[in-house]
Structure 1
Amino acid sequence: MTATGTTSLTGLLAELVVTTPEAPLAFDVVGDEIRTCTRARFGERVEAVRAELADAGIEPGQCIAVMLPNWSDALVWQFAASALGAHIIGVNTRYNTGEVAHILVAARPAVVAVAASFHGLDLIGTLCAAAHSVPEVAAPAVAVVTGPAAPVTPVDPAGFDLGDGAWLVGSGDTRGTRVPRTPHTATVTAAGAAADPSDPLAVAFTTSGSTGTPKLAAHRDSAVVRHGRADAAIMGLAPGDVTLCVLPVSGVFGFSAAMATLAGGGSLLMEPVFDAAAVLRRMQALEVTHVVGGDDLFGRLYDTWHREQRADLSALRWLGIADFLGRSHDIARWARDEFGALTSGVFGSSEMFALTLLWSAEDPESVRWSGGGRPVAPSIEARIVDPVDDRVLADGEQGELQFRGPNVVDAYLGNPDAARRAFTPDGWFRSGDLAVATGGGYRFVCRMGDVLRLRGFLVDPAEIEHCLAQHPDVGVVKVVGIAGVGGYTEAVGFVVLADDASAGTDAEVLKQWCREELAAFKVPSAVHIIDRMPTTVGGNGTKIRAVELREWAQEWTDRERDYRRG
């Protein structure tokens, strides 16, 4: 493999292989066994897939969908596609038929790499149903991936053929497979227009879809490498380090952490199925140094460690944490007190890469443990503006966080209007997030659609959530806003009590707690005690479904509910 420069994925891999070929690049998990893939072996696998794709007829600019779990194979496909000038769209193995069909229409993949079998999921059945639901789209060729544990019974690729052929990856035999001619669906953004046109798109991610149909945000090859190197420097990643890779690399959060690790010369512990106790054992065995994830993931590790599996995690040095469930500060204290690890809040998205803002080690914990941070590279510009007229605001004022730089989305797949709507006339990307500039850094407040206007004041629901969470009987809390009497917004709290909560803790007790800590207009008009939060699982972790809670809050305006554990 010939190096093309250190700002390309092909050049990055060549650099890793030449520097230390026998160093581990990835650790795959097969049952209770850990299988090591060296840099040299990884490079050989990339070359084999690249050759098969070339034989099948993949051309520069085409899209390849990768429907694989967290196997090292998923990263092999990224590097192989990039070597041909093609781009990857990750497909979470949990996506349903409609979600896969949307990707087939928007991205028009010429090939889909699909796991032959994984965790009892009927992946080819989902893919087949999705393809049949959109007959106007040319059926992609299918590449069948057996993964790190090759099956005892040989896999017949004919059973995976959607009409344009299928082949078994690694066989070298693509006869009967010819990828279809597919249209290029990318619409270049203001950021992409300023980039080198010879720099091809490399990867696309689905957005959360919180404002409608999920968009497919694509980034150029050099942007992936440059951003990975910038993240690695802030995270302190170096050869010999090991990152826990449990978030799907099909999503931007897992992908960004993986690329930062490779750019820093570290190794990846690839966890395809999350079993907290087993993960803790492997973290101890491989001396994991870095972990990136949401507090849902960390929370399960935290709970298991305290309950049953006191693994030695003394090698742990750095945690990047997103607060989805309100547990990040407790987890950060645990990591600090037990292992001496440093925790940073994070900020990013599919359109900017996940780790765009990180706090530095010099930032105080009161700041560092919250969402946001400082731009990880000097080339990333950020500003806070009035969301109505894009007027730049002073430090300390809340407004929309906007970005400009090489990390910003270069193109959208299958959505020409998105490129126009997502940018200001002067070329800044609209993140849709409310934040505050702190003088060099940016503190994330909330999504702009979640902010509450209470009695004329903009209030971050997290402020109320933090207050409720300090009550010793509160386990998990979420605050939403609804239209109250006279059309004014009211804050409504939802609480899951801690396992050892006292019987006397009810809505009035919790509201009185808030009255003692918060301004009167911030005290929730109602607090509902529920058994569990409604959640959704996405590529970046488990999030509370605020939309469903708003519906409950609007329905339950007659009285406060108290559904305690039976």
Structure 2
Amino acid sequence: MTHTTRTLFGLLTDAVRADPERRTLIEPVEAGTARHHVEHTRLDLLATAVDLADLLRSHGIGDGDGIAVWLPSWAEVYAWQFAASAVGAHIIGVNTRYNVAVVGNVLTKARPAALVMAHGFRGIDFLPTAREAVAEAREALEDREALSSDPEYRAPVVVVSAGPGVDLVPPEVVDRYGLGAGAVRSPVPGTTGHTAAEVLARADAYRTEGSPSTLSVGFTTSGSTGLPKVAAHCEHAVLHHMSAVAERLGFGSGDVMVEPLPYSGVFGYMAGMAALAGGASVLLHPVFDPEALLDDWERFGGTHYVGGDDMIARVRAAWEGRRRDLSMWRWWGVADFQGMSAELAAWSAGEFGTVTSGVYGSSEVFSLLTFWEDSVPPAQRIRGGGRLSAPDYAYRIVDPHTGTEVPEGHRGEIQLRGPNVVDEYLGDRRTPDGTPASGSAMDTNTTEDGWFLTGDLGEAVDDRSFVYVCRMGDVIRLKGFLVDPAEIEVHLAEHPAAEIVKVVSRTDGAGEPEVVAFVQPAPGSAPDGDELRDFCARRLARYKVPAEVRVIERMPTRAGTNGSKIKAAVLRDWARS
């Protein structure tokens, strides 16, 4: 007999039976220059999910099918996850910032049966991009002889959504969205107005129990070495992890997760889902605007936030211009993208009593895989890493050259094992019996004894906690020592004229590695590169001192699903020129 478990959809029906009117999602709605909020209840979310499940079922979409959701972080995106669970399908998040090449790559690998698209979002026309992406996906699949058993590309049914506060898209507009398999409009926005009994009766027609191995969600990877992969996780893993994180964070009914990160990315997704699992609300913010975010944060009493230092730096600047009451802000899970975490953690602690913790995770192993206990001293707590979120997760630190574990206090690759680890890369090559083929992504990222290779450098703290140092590709070997660029960045950033610092490596005239530091100056300052280098030399071992410090007007950045990241590859090119 196949083991079954409660599904995400089943979890939502249970929550509605327990407390149908509890608030789940707080959604801003813009109508011209006016702005208001809709506070969605559990019953609203279930009613919308059932409406979407009806739509999927009417188009024959169900077990094992993928649904690519290319929407901003509206309340509707949460409903799509629960609707997919209801019919046994899985969601693939597509960021609204993705270009033709990335969207085409996602459609090629994931081959979704449905593509949910936004109409009229901030005046952006996604349709030309979708048409080109479908054409690229069709061409790519036709060229792959390995797919000879199913070589024909099948275009997805397009579901068109106008978003919150907008009337349904007219039929003549919907028809233009057809990409070869037709287009329909989403029944969202709005709520059905049905009673809890009526909605639960409709929900009984759908899947509330299911196999733990049913895929639930797929996230695109960072794509730092090319076009991204799509890392998919089964439903049991999603449920298990969101519940474990909710328990560790101690969410309650009065808590509010402030959520400006896109739901399509693993950090935005898991922060929101963990909040719902713990009975808290999620304050949505589809377009990052620090002033509007602060207004909403104060109004709804935001208690938790997960995100990079880049966003909070902009929030602080806006707050300093016009202060709001953020005294309810208890916890910040920080990803250090621009080397400002320590400074911002001190600011939030001093002003609001916020506890800041470094976090760790990825598309392949979930976000919030680790974070630190509140009792850990602040200087340690802001570093990436922390304690594993569930007892059945395991890690080890391994010498990447020998494959042997290293003792505590030594650095090596972080390897992970547990139900949180990616179950499948969509579109990955497989053997006739369904196992990953030799050389496939799953094969190359997993050791023979079943450990997942993260590609991250770390250091063990104890048997349940580790420190994330940096990506293995970013570590620099200087005079025989493995050096994390952040060690140099932290010291240089202490100079009052340095706002953002990034360190990269290059090769000197003798063929040996050396470092170059790039500094974005603080507003109103004009530091000299030699002066900054001398400042660094007074604080660091000689071999860690940058060969050169360059002052630049602004760091080159790219917008990712989890925040803005500095383009290290661009800086490396600049360092060599």
Q: TM-score, normalised by structure 2?
A: 0.89
Please point out which of 37, 46, 49 is paired with 2:40: 37
* Large movers: runs of 4+ above 6 Å: none
> Aligned pair in 2 of structure 1 residues 171, 497: CA closer, same or farther (>3 Å)?
closer
Query: Is contact 1:234–1:358 with CA below 8 Å preserved after alignment?
Result: no
Query: Structure 2: which amino acid aligns with 1:102?
Result: N
Other-structure match for 2:372: 359
1:146 maps to 2:162? yes
Other-structure match for 2:564: 542
Please point out which of 265, 270, 274 is paired with 2:288: 274
Partner-residue secondary structure (3-state), 1:518: coil
> Aligned pair in 2 of structure 1 residues 493, 47: CA closer, same or farther (>3 Å)?
same
1:305 maps to 2:319? yes
Other-structure match for 2:496: 472
Partner-residue secondary structure (3-state), 1:58: coil
1:315 maps to 2:315? no
Per-residue Cα deviation, 1:13-41 (whole angstroms, up to 9, x for no partner): 12221121111110111122111111101
Give how far 1:531 is off: 0.2
Give how far 1:225 is off: 1.1
State the distance in 2 between where 1:538 and 1:252 align.
11
Query: Structure 2: which amino acid aligns with 1:500?
Result: G
Query: Structure 1: which amino acid aligns with 2:384?
Result: G
Other-structure match for 1:187: none
Per-residue Cα deviation, 1:303-358 (whole angstroms, up to 9, x for no partner): 1111x221100111111110000111111111111111111100000000011011
1:58 maps to 2:82? no
Please point out which of 511, 518, 537 is paired with 1:515: 537
Name whichever of 479-488 and 426-435 sits farther off: 479-488
1:459 maps to 2:483? yes
1:487 maps to 2:508? no
Query: Is contact 1:232–1:260 with CA below 8 Å preserved after alignment?
Result: yes
State the distance in 2 between where 1:168 and 1:507 align.
57
State the distance in 1 between where 2:167 and 2:129 align.
21
State the distance in 2 between where 1:378 and 1:8 align.
21
Note the residue ranges of structure 2 that are not aligned, 5 or more in a row: 143-152, 190-209, 430-439
Query: Is contact 1:5–1:12 with CA below 8 Å preserved after alignment?
Result: no
Give how far 1:213 is off: 2.5
Give how far 1:46 is off: 0.3
Query: Is contact 2:29–2:36 with CA below 8 Å preserved after alignment?
Result: yes
Per-residue Cα deviation, 1:501-541 (whole angstroms, up to 9, x for no partner): 2x5x3111111111111000000001110000000001111
Query: Structure 2: which amino acid aligns with 1:260?
Result: A
Partner-residue secondary structure (3-state), 1:434: strand
Alignment of structure 1 residues 42-121 onto 2, 5 Å: 42-121=45-124
Query: Is contact 1:61–1:201 with CA below 8 Å preserved after alignment?
Result: yes
State the distance in 1 between where 2:273 and 2:52 align.
19
Partner-residue secondary structure (3-state), 1:80: helix
Give how far 1:153 is off: 6.8
Per-residue Cα deviation, 1:53-74 (whole angstroms, up to 9, x for no partner): 0011103011110000010101
Give how far 1:236 is off: 2.2
Query: Is contact 2:168–2:185 with CA below 8 Å preserved after alignment?
Result: no
Partner-residue secondary structure (3-state), 1:485: coil
> Aligned pair in 2 of structure 1 residues 264, 409: CA closer, same or farther (>3 Å)?
same
State the distance in 2 between where 1:513 and 1:375 align.
38
Give how far 1:483 is off: 1.3
Alignment of structure 1 residues 103-252 onto 2, 5 Å: 103-135=106-138, 136=142, 137-151=153-167, 154=170, 156-170=173-187, 199-252=213-266
> Aligned pair in 2 of structure 1 residues 250, 447: CA closer, same or farther (>3 Å)?
same
1:265 maps to 2:279? yes
Give how far 1:245 is off: 1.3
Give how far 1:6 is off: 7.2
Would you say how many aligned residue pairs link Structure 1 and Structure 2? Answer: 526
Please point out which of 423, 436, 458 is paired with 1:435: 458
Per-residue Cα deviation, 1:198-246 (whole angstroms, up to 9, x for no partner): 5200000000011333111000001111100111122221112111111
Other-structure match for 2:546: 524
Q: CA RMSD in A?
A: 1.6
Alignment of structure 1 residues 321-332 onto 2, 5 Å: 321-332=334-345
Query: Is contact 2:515–2:547 with CA below 8 Å preserved after alignment?
Result: yes
Partner-residue secondary structure (3-state), 2:219: strand
Partner-residue secondary structure (3-state), 2:502: strand
Partner-residue secondary structure (3-state), 2:324: coil
Per-residue Cα deviation, 1:133-189 (whole angstroms, up to 9, x for no partner): 3334221110111221123873531111112111111189xxxxxxxxxxxxxxxxx
Partner-residue secondary structure (3-state), 2:122: coil
State the distance in 2 between where 1:405 and 1:54 align.
33
Query: Is contact 1:479–1:491 with CA below 8 Å preserved after alignment?
Result: yes
Query: Is contact 2:48–2:188 with CA below 8 Å preserved after alignment?
Result: no
State the distance in 2 between where 1:209 and 1:153 align.
34
Query: Is contact 1:205–1:218 with CA below 8 Å preserved after alignment?
Result: yes
State the distance in 2 between where 1:434 and 1:152 align.
49
Query: Is contact 2:90–2:215 with CA below 8 Å preserved after alignment?
Result: yes
Give how far 1:434 is off: 0.2
Query: Is contact 2:237–2:419 with CA below 8 Å preserved after alignment?
Result: yes
Query: Is contact 1:157–1:167 with CA below 8 Å preserved after alignment?
Result: yes
Other-structure match for 2:444: 421
Other-structure match for 1:176: none
Give how far 1:389 is off: 2.3
Q: TM-score, normalised by structure 1?
A: 0.91
Query: Is contact 2:516–2:575 with CA below 8 Å preserved after alignment?
Result: yes
Matched residues, percent identical? 46
Per-residue Cα deviation, 1:88-143 (whole angstroms, up to 9, x for no partner): 10110111111110011100011001112211211122111211233342211101
Give how far 1:7 is off: 4.8
